[in-house]
C-alpha cells in the first residue's frame, strides 16, 4: 500500500464514526448558544450618523414605500416614502442592485416586539447582523454597479418583472421573495400546512441538481465535469436567493454528497447532514435561530433517520409516508411558531407536492426562458390558489394549540422519535401516543387557574383581553384600529399590515384561545373598533356588546356586518351587567346620549380576587365626576386611564376618590395627539400611582392568582 493512501484510509475510518458528527454538532450548537447570548455582535455605527454610504444588496418597492438593504460598514435597512408617482418611476429606472449610494436621514434601532409570544423583529434583524433602520430623507447615487454577480441577479429580476401574470411566483421560486403573494393566499397555504413548498429548500435544489445531472449525463459529459457544472449552477441559484439558510443547507448537502461519492468515503447521509449543520453554524452562529433552517434540518434529519419506513414502490404510498414523516418532524416547530396545525396537511400534500414539484416549479423555470408560457403558468397558479382558498375556508382539520415552552417542544420530539422508532419495529400501537399528547396540549389552557387581564399594545388605541380561569371565557374589550387616509392607486401597498391579522389573532392563538366569547366595543371611534370587522371575519366571535348611544356611521357599519355574519349583538348601558362564568362586568355610564362620542363610552367595572378594576374607555372628566358621585369606586387596584392620557380626563378629584394602586395608559409612541399629557402623568406621579404606558412598556399583563398578582410587560 502506498504511503499516500495510508492517511486517506485513516481519514476514512475516522469519518465513519457516528459519534464524531454527533459530538461535534452538540459542541458547535453549545458554542453558538454561548456566542449569540453572551458575546453578541455589536454595531459598527454609533447611531448618530446622518449619512450612510454603501451599495444596494436588496431593493423592494411596495406602493409608495421603498425598502433598501444597504451594505456599508454593515447591513442597514433603509426606508423611504415616495412623494409622487413620477419620483417612484424615475427611481426604478435609475437605481439597481450593486449601485453605490449615499443615504441621508436618521438612524433608529429596530423596535422590540410589544406583544407576548409573537415575532420579535429586533431579534430577527440582529440574527442577520442588522442593528439599525434608517428613515431616509434623500438618496443619491454615487456610482453604478460594476459587480458581475449583481448584474446577473438584476438581469434575472428584470426578466421576471417583465412578465405579465406570474411574476410573483417566479420571484418565489427563483429569488426566494414571497412579498408579492397576497397575505390572504399565504395565510391559506399556512392554514392547510403546505406553505413550506414555497420556501426554497432541498426539494428545489434536488430538482435542479438532479435534472441538470440527468441532462449532462445524456450529453455524455464526464462525471467530475457534470458535478462541477451543477455545483456552479446551484451556487448561482443560491446567490439569487440571497443565500437563504435553507437553500444554503441544501447546496452544502449536495456538495458533500458529491465529495462523499467521488472519494468513496461511504459516510452516512445523516452524518453529511450534520456536517452541513456544523459548517453553516461555524460560519454564522446566529443561523441556529433561523426558522427556515430549523424546519429544513429537522425535517431532513427525520426523513434520513427513518427512511426504512419508505419501503414500497408505489409513488403515492411513498409520498404519503414521506409526508407523514415530514409532518410529524415539523409538528412541534409548527406549533411553536404558528400556534396551529392542520391534521389533513398530510393528505393535502399528496396533491400539492406533485403539483408544485412536477408542474409549477419546472414550468416557472421554463417561463423564465420562454415567456410565452407565462399565461399557462398563471392559469395553473390561479387554479392552485382557488383550491387553497376553498380548502382553507372550510378549516377542516385545523387545530389551534397554545405556544409551547422549549421543554414541551423537547418532550414532543422525544415522543415523536420514540413513535418512529417503534414503527420501524412494526409496533403500530405506538401511534396512539401522538393523539394523546396533542389532546393534552389542546386541553392545556383549561388547566390554568388564573384570571389574566392583558392591555394589548395596539399603538394609538385600546384593546384589552380578559381571560377567565380554566378557559371558561375570553372577553375582548375594543380592538384598536388606525385612521386611514385616501391614497392614490400607485401609493397602495400589495401587502398591508393589520392589527387583527398580524397581532391580535396570532396572539389569541398563541394562548390557545379558539373563540372570543364576547367582543365589547366601548364606543364608535376607529381606534376602538377599527379591527372589529376583520376579527369577526377571521376568528370566531360568539357575541358582540355595544353601547346604547345613538349609532354613528362606524357602529352602523359594524351592526350591518354582524347581521351578515349572523353574530348576535346587544346594547348595554348604565347599571347593566354581563356575567360570564361567575365573572361579573358592570357597565356604569348610564347617560349615553352625549354629543361627544367619547363620553358615550361603556365604562366597565369588575373585581378579580376582590381587587377593583375600572376600564374607562375615552370618557372626559365630566363623566368621571358622574361616576364617583353615583358609585362607590374607592381603592381601585387598577385604572385604565381614559382617552389615552388626554388632559380632558383623569382629574385630580377622580384620582383622589378612586385611589388606584396601578394605572395603565394605552397610547401610541410619538402619536399626533401628543398623548399622554404631562399634567396627567404628573397627577399620577404625585399620588404614587404605579403607571404603565403601552408606548414605553409594550403590552401589560396582570396575572391574578390566589397567591397575588404578577405583572409582566414585553419591555421587561
Sign of CA dihedral 588, 557, 459, 679: negative
Residue 426 is placed in which grid cell?
412494526
The three-class DSSP label of residue 249 is helix
Say if residue 436 is in the same domain as residue 507.
no
Residue 71 covered by a domain: yes
The reported pLDDT for the residue numbered 2 is: 47
Say if residue 375 is in the same domain as residue 519.
no
Say if residue 392 is in the same domain as residue 429.
no
Q: With contact defined as beta carbons under 8 Å apart, do 619 and 589 qualify?
A: yes
Residue numbers of the chain with a pLDDT score lower than 70 = 1-9, 11-12, 590-594
DSSP secondary structure string for all residues of 606-639: EEETTEEEEE-TT--HHHHHHHHHHS---S-SEE
Say if residue 389 is in the same domain as residue 428.
no
Residue 152 covered by a domain: no
Q: What is the pLDDT of residues 372-413, one digit of tens each?
A: 999 999 999 999 999 999 999 888 899 999 999 999 999 999
Distance of CA 515 to the CA centre of its chain: 21
Burial of 653: CB neighbours in 10 Å, binned 0-12, 13-18, 19+: exposed
Say if residue 553 is in the same domain as residue 588.
yes
Residue 63 covered by a domain: yes
Give the span between the Cα atoms of 409 and 324, in whole angstroms.
18
Say if residue 633 is in the same domain as residue 571.
yes
Looking at 263-358, list the stretches that DSSP marks H as alpha helix, in order from N- to C-terminal side.
Answer: 269-283, 291-305, 315-338, 345-354
Residue 69 covered by a domain: yes
Q: Which of 345, 376, 403 is the last residue of a domain?
A: 403
Q: With contact defined as beta carbons under 8 Å apart, do 702 and 453 qualify?
A: yes
The reported pLDDT for the residue numbered 128 is: 92
The reported pLDDT for the residue numbered 176 is: 87
The reported pLDDT for the residue numbered 356 is: 93
Say if residue 134 is in the same domain as residue 237.
no
Looking up cell 388605541 gives 461
Q: What is the pLDDT of residues 31-88, one digit of tens each?
A: 999 999 999 999 999 999 999 999 999 999 999 999 999 999 999 999 999 999 999 9
Say if residue 494 is in the same domain as residue 481.
yes
Q: Would you put residue 210 in left (φ > 0), alpha (ψ -120 to 50) or beta?
A: alpha
Give the span between the Cα atoms of 695 and 711, in whole angstroms.
17
Half-sphere exposure of 103 (CA within 13 A, CB side): 29
Q: Which of 145, 161, 196 is the last residue of a domain?
A: 145
Q: Domain limits at 94?
A: 51-145
Looking up cell 446567490 gives 239
Domain count, the chain: 4
Give the span between the Cα atoms of 168 and 360, in whole angstroms.
13
Residue 41 covered by a domain: no
- Angle CA 201–205–209, to nearest 5: 170
Say if residue 387 is in the same domain as residue 424.
no
| Number of residues that this document lists for the chain | 716
Residue 6 covered by a domain: no
Say if residue 499 is in the same domain as residue 510.
yes
Residue 323 covered by a domain: yes
Residue 196 covered by a domain: yes
Measured N-to-C along each axis, helices 245-262 and 269-283 cross at an angle, to the nearest 10 degrees, of 130
**CATH code of the domain in which 549 resides:** 3.60.15.10
Looking up cell 357597565 gives 587
DSSP secondary structure string for all residues of 360-413: IHHHHHHHHH-GGGHHHHHHHHHHHHHHHHHHHHHTTTEEE-PPPPHHHHHHHH
The three-class DSSP label of residue 569 is strand
Q: With contact defined as beta carbons under 8 Å apart, do 129 and 72 qualify?
A: no
Strands lying side by side in the sheet with 708-713: 569-572, 541-547, 516-520, 474-477, 464-467, 451-455, 700-705, 708-713
Q: What is the pLDDT of residues 418-446, one digit of tens each?
A: 999 999 999 999 999 999 999 999 999 99
Half-sphere exposure of 398 (CA within 13 A, CB side): 22
Give the span between the Cα atoms of 398 and 338, in whole angstroms.
12
Say if residue 224 is in the same domain as residue 236.
yes
Longest dimension (CA), the chain: 103
> Does the N-terminal peptide bond of residue 676 adopt cis geometry, omega within 30 degrees of 0?
yes
The reported pLDDT for the residue numbered 235 is: 92
Say if residue 417 is in the same domain as residue 479.
no
Looking at 1-127, list the stretches that DSSP marks H as alpha helix, in order from N- to C-terminal side.
Answer: 5-15, 18-38, 85-94, 121-127
Residue 98 is placed in which grid cell?
450593486
Q: Which of 110, 145, 180 is the last residue of a domain?
A: 145
**CATH code of the domain in which 57 resides:** 2.40.50.140
Amino acid at each position: 500500500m502506498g504511503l499516500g493512501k495510508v492517511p486517506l484510509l485513516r481519514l476514512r475510518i475516522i469519518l465513519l464514526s457516528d459519534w464524531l458528527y454527533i459530538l461535534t454538532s452538540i459542541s458547535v450548537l453549545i458554542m453558538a448558544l454561548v456566542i449569540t447570548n453572551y458575546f453578541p455582535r455589536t454595531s459598527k455605527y454609533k447611531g448618530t450618523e446622518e449619512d450612510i454610504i454603501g451599495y444596494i444588496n436588496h431593493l423592494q418597492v411596495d406602493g409608495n414605500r421603498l425598502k433598501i438593504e444597504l451594505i456599508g460598514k454593515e447591513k442597514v435597512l433603509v426606508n423611504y416614502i415616495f412623494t409622487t408617482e413620477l419620483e417612484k418611476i424615475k427611481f426604478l429606472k435609475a437605481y439597481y442592485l450593486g449601485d453605490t449610494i449615499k443615504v441621508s436621514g436618521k438612524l433608529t434601532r429596530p423596535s422590540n416586539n410589544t406583544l407576548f409570544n409573537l415575532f420579535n423583529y429586533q431579534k430577527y434583524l440582529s440574527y442577520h447582523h442588522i442593528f439599525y433602520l434608517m428613515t431616509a430623507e434623500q438618496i443619491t447615487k454615487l456610482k453604478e454597479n460594476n459587480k458581475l454577480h449583481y448584474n446577473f441577479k438584476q438581469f434575472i429580476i428584470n426578466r421576471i418583472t417583465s412578465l405579465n401574470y406570474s411574476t410573483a411566483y417566479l420571484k418565489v421560486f427563483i429569488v426566494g421573495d414571497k412579498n408579492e403573494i397576497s397575505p390572504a393566499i399565504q395565510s391559506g397555504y399556512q392554514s392547510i400546512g403546505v406553505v413550506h413548498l414555497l420556501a426554497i429548500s432541498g426539494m428545489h435544489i434536488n430538482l435542479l441538481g438532479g435534472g441538470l445531472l440527468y441532462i449532462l449525463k445524456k450529453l455524455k459529459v464526464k462525471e467530475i465535469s457534470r458535478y462541477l457544472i451543477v455545483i456552479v449552477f446551484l451556487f448561482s441559484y443560491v446567490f439569487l436567493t440571497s443565500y437563504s439558510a435553507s437553500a444554503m443547507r441544501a447546496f452544502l448537502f449536495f456538495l458533500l454528497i458529491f465529495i462523499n461519492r467521488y472519494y468513496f468515503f461511504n459516510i452516512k447521509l445523516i452524518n453529511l447532514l450534520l456536517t452541513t449543520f456544523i459548517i453553516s453554524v461555524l460560519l454564522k452562529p446566529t443561523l441556529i435561530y433561523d426558522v427556515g433552517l430549523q424546519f429544513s434540518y429537522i425535517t431532513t434529519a427525520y426523513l434520513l433517520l427513518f427512511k426504512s419506513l419508505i419501503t414500497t414502490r408505489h409513488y403515492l404510498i411513498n409520498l404519503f409516508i414521506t409526508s407523514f414523516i415530514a409532518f410529524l418532524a415539523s409538528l412541534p416547530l409548527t406549533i411553536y411558531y404558528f400556534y396551529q396545525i392542520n391534521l389533513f396537511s398530510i393528505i393535502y400534500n399528496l396533491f400539492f407536492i406533485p403539483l408544485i414539484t412536477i408542474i409549477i416549479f419546472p414550468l416557472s423555470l421554463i417561463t423564465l426562458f420562454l415567456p410565452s408560457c407565462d399565461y399557462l403558468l398563471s392559469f395553473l397558479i390561479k387554479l392552485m390558489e382557488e383550491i387553497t382558498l376553498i380548502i382553507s375556508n372550510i378549516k377542516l382539520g385545523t387545530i389551534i394549540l397554545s405556544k409551547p415552552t422549549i421543554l414541551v417542544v423537547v418532550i414532543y420530539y422525544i415522543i415523536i422519535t420514540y413513535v418512529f422508532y417503534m414503527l420501524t419495529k412494526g409496533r403500530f400501537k405506538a401511534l396512539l401516543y401522538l393523539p394523546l399528547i396533542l389532546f393534552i396540549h389542546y386541553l392545556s389552557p383549561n388547566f390554568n387557574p388564573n384570571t389574566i387581564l392583558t392591555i394589548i399594545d395596539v399603538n394609538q388605541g385600546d384593546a384589552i383581553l380578559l381571560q377567565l380561569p380554566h378557559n371558561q371565557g375570553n372577553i375582548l374589550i375594543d380592538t384598536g384600529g388606525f385612521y386611514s387616509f385616501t391614497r392614490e392607486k400607485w401609493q397602495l401597498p400589495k401587502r398591508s399590515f393589520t392589527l387583527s391579522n398580524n397581532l391580535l389573532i396570532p396572539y389569541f392563538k398563541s394562548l390557545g384561545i379558539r373563540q372570543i366569547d364576547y367582543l365589547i366595543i366601548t364606543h364608535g371611534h376607529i381606534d376602538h373598533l377599527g379591527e372589529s370587522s376583520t376579527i369577526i371575519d377571521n376568528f370566531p366571535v360568539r357575541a358582540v356588546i355595544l353601547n346604547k348611544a345613538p349609532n354613528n356611521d362606524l357602529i352602523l357599519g359594524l351592526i350591518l356586518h354582524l347581521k351578515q355574519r349572523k353574530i348576535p349583538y346587544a346594547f348595554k348601558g348604565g347599571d347593566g351587567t354581563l356575567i360570564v362564568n361567575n365573572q361579573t362586568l358592570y357597565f356604569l355610564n348610564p347617560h349615553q346620549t352625549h354629543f361627544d362620542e367619547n363620553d358615550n363610552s361603556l365604562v366597565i367595572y369588575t373585581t378579580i380576587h376582590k381587587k377593583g378594576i375600572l376600564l374607562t374607555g375615552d370618557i372626559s372628566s365630566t363623566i368621571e365626576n358622574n361616576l364617583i358621585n353615583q358609585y362607590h369606586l374607592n381603592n381601585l387596584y387598577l385604572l385604565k386611564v381614559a382617552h389615552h392620557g388626554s388632559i380632558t380626563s383623569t382629574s385630580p378629584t377622580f384620582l383622589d376618590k378612586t385611589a388606584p394602586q396601578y394605572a395603565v395608559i394605552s397610547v401610541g409612541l410619538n402619536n399626533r395627539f401628543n398623548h399622554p399629557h404631562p399634567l396627567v402623568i404628573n397627577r399620577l406621579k404625585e399620588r404614587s400611582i404605579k403607571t404603565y404606558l403601552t408606548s414605553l412598556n409594550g403590552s401589560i399583563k396582570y396575572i391574578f392568582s390566589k397567591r397575588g398578582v404578577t405583572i409582566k410587560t414585553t419591555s421587561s
